[in-house]
Chains A and B, each alone.
Chain A
């Protein structure tokens, strides 16, 4: 349920209060009413909580480390409009970031997905707005606020990995969406799993750890840190490897091969037949 729905339901509830009992309640109306009651109860609890707990920011701000403090400055400039003060989320604009940890922030910011510019089926990769250092600062800030998964240090998360092991894991866990050639694939309703062509070690690690949007989370109990590095090692090796068989056709399987056989093979041979038949 998005915040927008909630608002609609609340309005329905107010309207219901006005016209009470003028008509017998239908099933839908009963449901709306029940939903509205739930929302009201939640709002009440939430309000009480907000009122009774001391103001979070007032206490947190002084304890922020240097990086986190710089991160907060960046955050307040670029993210606050959608994710709200202290990353608590703004209904209808952006979710709360509390508990997501620095891994998610680093992934979203270094792949350029955040700050979001346009709401679409999903946030797309684009040239990043912030440098890697700034992304880490932002991550440190969110980490300080709510904790959550973190990335291991260092930019090289693949040389300790076992490529063959990683290949097996990749084909079982990732190929269903990203395709065997890491070229990506379509999901339902206009969503898609992107190509892994540009992903760095850290981004891949973070993607597994945090499961952005439609990607499942591969926590450390599903794929151990070593297994994650195996996968990264496999993918990076695949990307740097030359196709042994010639031009790889995007590693997209039989679809481009079908195009080639008609557009190159058949077209060429028809021209040849024209030539040969024309020579009498």
Chain B
């Protein structure tokens, strides 16, 4: 018998060749591995959302092994004594079972819920990044739209999940949702009856929410994420302007190995953060809320944070009802219709249209692959600040009873402050953001023309004092340089142009040794004054 010699080191390569022979994967894979990711922290915000979603899928699947969405009445006999013997729905009972009698169940429930909050928070922060840097401009409008849809899908998914355990808080939320649906003119009662299979609460709603929560919406989100990422690969990343960066290239790290290593690390950090939150902070203690009963409405009944702004808009809305007659029938539009149907409608449509509106008003039909600094587009920055302020006022008002109680403010005062604030603060925010942007722009131009303030005061022989400026480029006879603003940050401190000992790299501990101090030639200008500045 002859022993075949196997070269172990060549095995993977040989296997890969065999695979490539059949599937011709090398070319597309090479392309994928070579995809370049820009290296700026703000590009990682979207990844937080992506990774929280993966955590949601994992933990959610675990929960689904034990959760039972049935609304059948049962008596609780589990190990949480304060609820033993209480009548409740099977759904609530199984959530309690999951929390107290399944090993690791409470931890995974908490992970699932924290991941949901993080998912939505990351979507918002990511969206703000995209908005304020103009990354949504042509050709990326479609991805902006996909992003907005992702937000609303996450919103829906979170709301369905929040309603599943059938505790008093989620029941209160469902009750409000049914009131909102009922408030829609003409079709409201029909839609509500179809959703709940009759009168609220009926006995089918949990089953429907469940299938929506574990299948339909996650499927939709997954599809949207796929489109989102596919578009990203196709259209390539935007990037910040900078040396060598143009509208036609992307500078950064390659997918493999640089980015892959980083992003795996980042996934682990997101996972760890969620696990940490779940281990340290209690979330949604359903055993305190008790089973849902129509008569139970606790103080501090709030939805999760991403729904809270709608709660706030409802709290601020004055109780205005509109009554009218149509074709011999009397109709009434209750006050909740405006803050909970019309407002979210506007909040969906306006952002969806924003890229097109902006292009229309700026008459800008170009492709853009370079980002803009918020200060360079004061109008958009102002509008964004306005929207954020509007949202924040609603958000804070959504928790106004808790805030009023804990900070000893009158609840009525909070409501009125919210109403007035909603009208006054957004324009104010617009104005401030606009002025601040202009101020920052001007300062950039000033530094480009006059150089960096060194903080060194010189006294001339005739007794005049003046501050020494470090020019950033060649100067004319007035000491001004004619540098053009490049759309990226202008160095404003001397150590940014190499005047001081260069900072040693390394986040927690130095990863390099300090170079021998031999003053390097200044990279940007001949800098005649350098000697004085760095004398030590």
Residues in A lying within 8 Å of B, measured CB to CB: 121, 163-165, 167-168, 171-172, 175-181, 183-190, 192-193, 234, 237-238, 241, 243-249, 251-255, 257-258, 260-262, 264-266, 268-270, 272-280
Contact = CB atoms under 8 A, between A and B. Distances in A.
B85 A180 contact: no
15 contacts: A172-B293, A188-B412, A244-B100, A244-B287, A252-B406, A254-B304, A255-B403, A258-B117, A261-B277, A261-B305, A272-B273, A273-B45, A278-B41, A278-B507, A280-B258
Contact of A180 (B300, B399, B408): B300
Given A245-B285, A249-B282, A260-B277, 19 more contacts: A164-B83, A171-B293, A175-B296, A179-B298, A180-B169, A234-B82, A246-B279, A247-B280, A249-B281, A252-B300, A252-B402, A254-B303, A254-B304, A254-B305, A261-B305, A265-B277, A269-B122, A272-B273, A276-B266
Given A186-B404, A257-B305, A180 B290 contact: yes
B300 A189 contact: no
Nearest to B413: A190
A171 B43 contact: no
Interface in B273-323: 273-274, 277-285, 287-290, 293, 295-305, 308
B282 A167 contact: no
Given A185-B299, A268-B273, A273 B44 contact: yes
Contact of A164 (B40, B85, B285, B293): B85
A253 B253 contact: no
Contacts of A258: 117, 304-305, 308, 395, 399
A181 B288 contact: yes
Nearest to B507: A275
Contacts of B121: 261-262, 265-266
B48 interface: yes
A279 B114 CA distance: 28
Contacts of B89: none
Q: A interface, by DSSP: helix, strand, loop or mixed?
A: helix
Contacts of B114: 261, 265
B289 to A, nearest CB: 5
B82 A167 contact: yes
Contacts, number: 208
Given A167-B83, A168-B86, A248-B285, A255 B302 contact: yes
B205 interface: no
Contacts of B287: 244
A277 B41 contact: yes
Contact of B106 (A185, A241, A244, A265): A244
Given A164-B82, A168-B86, A269 B301 contact: no
B300 A255 contact: yes
Nearest to A254: B302
A176 B297 contact: yes
Nearest to B252: A280
A244 B302 contact: no
B405 interface: yes
A233 to B, nearest CB: 9
A34 B252 CA distance: 86
Contacts of A275: 507
Contacts of B270: 269
B1 to A, nearest CB: 53
B39 interface: yes
A164 B80 CA distance: 10
A136 B403 CA distance: 37
B300 A280 contact: no
A259 to B, nearest CB: 9
B411 interface: yes
A185 to B, nearest CB: 3
A174 B471 CA distance: 71
B39 A280 contact: yes
Contacts of A268: 273
B411 A188 contact: yes
Given A238-B82, A266-B122, A186 B304 contact: no
B436 to A, nearest CB: 21
Contacts of B274: 265
Given A257-B305, A261-B118, A273-B44, A189 B299 contact: no
